[in-house]
Structure formats: structure tokens, C-alpha cells
Amino acid sequence: MRMFSSAPSIEGLTAVVTGGSRGLGLLMGRQLARRGCDVVLLARDEPELARAVGQLGNTVGGSVRGAVCDVRDRAAVQEEFERIAGRHGGIDIVIANAGIIQVGPADALGREGFEDAVDSIFRGALNTALEALPYLRRSEAGGRLGLIGSIGGLIAVPHLLPYSCAKAAVAALAEGLHAEESPHGVSVTGVHPGLMRTGSHLHAHFGGDKRREYAWFSALAGAPVLSMDAERAAERIVSGLQRRRTRIVLTPAARLGAAMHGVAPVATTRLMSVVVRALPSGGGRGTDEGATVEAFDRPPAPRLRALVSALNERAADRFNQRGGPATGSR
């Protein structure tokens, strides 16, 4: 395909994407299929996964199929990778993308919030990476492993601490595996996006003052200047994997934040202390999904949020974030 001619071809390779039923995972699966890969999407929700495969069914290039798998379960991941390798004759590309987002003060999210984040984000990435590596080492094309972190893993973001802690572990895993796997011909790419318009606010979990937490997060996640078009993000990530890049940091704000933290970590931490004063306080324990908060809790400033996050709401429709059939495709 002409638009990808400058990168090494990955046509005919087998690619696996975890968390592939919606949002960024769905879009990375589409990019891989467009470049001629045979793509397997892994996710926990069978109906959602079926909609994702249907949405990508007309993608020109490689094939797309789905498999139900909980990446927190190492045995399930091992069994699924064995099935995929047996069916396709091997595995060449793996992207560990599955995870959750929790928004709220640390004391409201509690120990359970941190444990859930580590389970889903870090343990999921670890299980995926360790079970994938034997197959990637045997890839004739040279295996490629992508671990999806976040700018929140490079800078501790207030009211996203469980997420930041788990993503920081993913960042360390990506850097360490990159060094250890290079003698085996496997490239490992750590990916650290900033805010992206994926519609993920509907599936994020909100604690504390849920109404106000949802309001600020959904607005920022859809703000055109601060957030990035998710389809462009997926294209850049897959291109980076194709070129075997070591690290990808997406969005200008994320690159600036990572640079600031590297040069002046104390000043950056103090700045975060100022930021947190503008965030909501109070509220009880426990969390609700964003879709529930939107429907029943009536978050503040609906007109302003509708204006700022209009692109993100469209992304939710197009990228399989809402229940029922997806309303758009590419």
C-alpha cells in the first residue's frame, strides 16, 4: 500500500491486539488489517467483540477475527496464544492494550482501585508479553511487541493515581524487555499516549464526587487542542511498531510534560500540587462507569461539556464504545 511504503512491509504477518474490541485497540486492529496482517482481537466482552469484528469485516487487506480472553488470567492467555499460533503457523506482532481507567482521589478509589488497575493494566500486559515472547522469537519476520502505556505512566497525574502507577510499571516493563529481547531479534515498543478522542470516558470508572470527576475528565478527553484524534494515534502507533521504534510519546502536551518532568521533576511535582486544587474533592467510596454517571447523576455544565467534547462523543459512536451496534465505521 503506497501510504506505508516507507516502512518495512508487515503484509501476511499474524498480529494480536488485546483490548481490541473498542477504542484505540479497535483502531490499531484496523490499521494492522489495512496493512495486510491477519488480526486477532482479544477482549472479555463477547457481544462487544462480535460488534468489533463486524465493524472491521470490510477492511481491505488481512483478515480479522475475535477471541474472548481475559488477559488477567495467565492460563487463558497461554491457551489462546497456543490456539492462534496453531491456526496461523506462528505469531509476529502483539500489542498489549487492555486496561481500565479510574478517575478520582486516591482515598476514594481505595486499595481496591489500585489492585484492580495493577491487575488489569500491568498484570494483563505482563501476561501478554511473557506468553507472546516465545512465539515472537520464532517469527521469521522478527517479532514486534507493543506495550501501551500512557503519559500518566511517565508523570503521576492527580486523580488518576491507580492508572498512573500501573502504567508506570508498563513503561518499565517495555524498557527492560526492549534491552533483553534485542539479542533474540524481537523489538519492544513502549507507547505513551496523552489524551485521545476514543470515547473511553463512557467506560472509565469514577469515584469521589462522581458528577464533577466525570465532568472534567470527559471535557478534557474531548478537547480538540489537548486531545488527539484516535485514528491518527493508531496510525502512528502501528507505523512505529512497523519501524521497530523503541518509544512513542503521542500528543504535544504529553511530550512537553514528559520533557518537563525529565528536566525539572521537582517543579513538575509542585505544578501538579497546584493542579489538584482545581479538581473535585469529597464524595464517597466506590465507583460507577461513565455511562452510568452521565445517565443518572446529571454532571454539571452539560452545554459546555457538549461543546468541548463533541468530537469525543462522535468517537464513542464510531469506535464501539456504546452498547448495541456501532453507529459508524471506516
In this prediction, what percent of the chain has a pLDDT beyond 90? 75
Cα 70 to its chain centre, rounded Å, is 15
Buried b (16+ CB within 10 A) or exposed e, 128-146: bbebbbebbeebebebbbb
Q: What is the pLDDT of residue 89?
A: 97
Which residues 6+ apart lie within 8 Å of 188 measured at CB?
Answer: 145, 146, 147, 174, 177, 178, 181, 246
pLDDT tops 70 at residue 324: no
Give the number of residues written for the chain: 330
Relative to beta strand 187-193, strand 247-250 is parallel
- Closest by CA to 249, choosing from 186, 316, 193, is 193
Q: What is the pLDDT of residue 4?
A: 44
Write down the H helix ranges in the chain.
Answer: 23-34, 46-56, 74-88, 106-117, 124-137, 161-181, 210-222, 230-242, 252-263, 265-276, 290-296, 302-308, 310-318
pLDDT tops 60 at residue 5: no
Average model confidence (pLDDT) across the chain:
91
Top mean-pLDDT range of 155-159, 280-284, 303-307: 155-159
In this prediction, what percent of the chain has a pLDDT beyond 70? 95
pLDDT tops 80 at residue 329: no
Q: What is the pLDDT of residue 311?
A: 81
**Which of 45-54, 119-128, 267-276 comes out lowest in average pLDDT?**
267-276
Q: Judge contact between 244 and 38, C-beta under 8 A.
A: no
For the purposes of burial, counting CB atoms within 10 Å of the CB of 225, is it exposed (0-12), middle (13-18) or buried (19 or more)? exposed
Q: What is the pLDDT of residue 57?
A: 81
For the purposes of burial, counting CB atoms within 10 Å of the CB of 104, is it exposed (0-12), middle (13-18) or buried (19 or more)? buried
Rounded CA-CA distance 215/2 in Å is 42
pLDDT tens-digit map of 47-101: 999 999 999 987 778 899 999 999 999 999 999 999 999 999 999 999 999 999 9
pLDDT tens-digit map of 302-321: 777 777 778 888 888 899 89
Greater confidence, 302 or 125? 125
pLDDT tops 90 at residue 301: no
Q: What is the pLDDT of residue 17?
A: 98
In terms of pTM, does the model score above 0.95?
no
Q: What is the pLDDT of residue 10?
A: 96
Give the end-to-end CA distance of the chain in Å, rounded to a whole number.
Answer: 17
pLDDT tops 60 at residue 325: no
Q: What is the pLDDT of residue 83?
A: 98
Amino acid at residue number 300: P
Which residues 6+ apart lie within 8 Å of 303 measured at CB?
Answer: none
- Which residue has 517495555 as its cell numbers? 174
pLDDT tens-digit map of 201-219: 999 999 999 999 999 999 9
φ, ψ of residue 229 in degrees (nearest 5): -60, 125
pLDDT tens-digit map of 232-244: 999 999 999 999 9
Q: Judge contact between 214 and 312, C-beta under 8 A.
A: no
Cα→Cα distances 249→154, 259, 289, 308, Å: 10, 11, 27, 24
pLDDT tens-digit map of 223-271: 888 899 999 999 999 999 999 999 999 998 899 988 988 899 999 989 8
Instruction: Give the long-range contacts of residues 230-234, CB within 8 A, separation 24 or more.
Output: 230/23, 230/24, 230/27, 230/196, 230/197, 230/198, 230/315, 230/319, 231/27, 231/330, 233/24, 233/27, 233/193, 233/196, 234/24, 234/27, 234/28, 234/30, 234/31
Q: What is the pLDDT of residue 330?
A: 20
pLDDT tops 60 at residue 327: no
Question: By three-state DSSP, how is residue 246 classified?
Answer: coil
